[in-house]
Amino acid sequence: MKKFNKFVFLLFVYILLFPPKVYSSVKEKIINNLKETNNLNFDFKQNTNGKIETGNCTLKFPKKIYCLYNNKNKKILVSNGKSLVIKSNNNYNHYPLDKTPLNIILDKKFLINNIKNFDEENKNKKNVNFRFTKNEMKIDIFFDIKNFNLIGWQVLDIYQNLNTTYLTSIIKNQNIEDAIFKIPTQE
């Protein structure tokens, strides 16, 4: 019995002196998950000032994305890391990526560094929200509270357009051909 009591006492002292680091913060888990994520494939639902659009995207860090919208105009959105093009049967719009909110959303290093320095996270039962303000744009980034995946974003741009995008059916770290991020030409 003395050996057992001695063992329990030593175990208790060990735990006090060297507590197990079992619990890490949600913020740390999100950062670790981001570090391990090279790319994502997902379905999306986008609400821009009440106009709902859906589709599928492939995102590759840093700053590359290809989205095919489910609409009759065959709308696509493509970023090669420097430029962003939104093309459909009727329109062709070309933007410098650094003038768009996607420049921040697709920048894993920016997200990680800013989440690290975030004093407070806004969380509820389903997600964690981090808000960034840059170049007169307010950007909220949402992460799942259970698996720490990126699950969406909301942007209030300089023209006061509110755009909310939710991600579903998320698949991480697939083999992706860089050719899909080639900027399409105007026809």
The contacts of residue 62 (CB under 8 Å, 6+ apart) are 81, 106, 107, 108, 109
Where is pLDDT greater, at 71 or 16? 71
The predicted structure's pLDDT at residue 36: 97
The predicted structure's pLDDT at residue 138: 85
The predicted structure's pLDDT at residue 121: 64
Asked whether the predicted pLDDT for residue 136 surpasses 80, the reply is no
Round to whole Å and give the CA distance between 71 and 79: 20
Round to whole Å and give the CA distance between 155 and 137: 7
pLDDT digits (tens, 9 = 90+) for 49-69: 999 999 999 999 999 999 999
User: What's the pLDDT band for 21 if we cut at 50, 70, 90?
Assistant: very low
Whether pTM > 0.85 for this model: the answer is no
Mean pLDDT of 128-154: 90
Indicate the range of 9-13, 49-53, 142-146 predicted with least confidence. 9-13
Residue 185 tokens, joined: 């030409």
- Helical (H) or strand (E) element with 58: strand 51-60
Indicate the range of 12-21, 96-105, 142-151, 161-170 predicted with least confidence. 12-21
Round to whole Å and give the CA distance between 151 and 142: 6
What domains are defined for the chain? Answer: 24-181 (2.50.20.10)
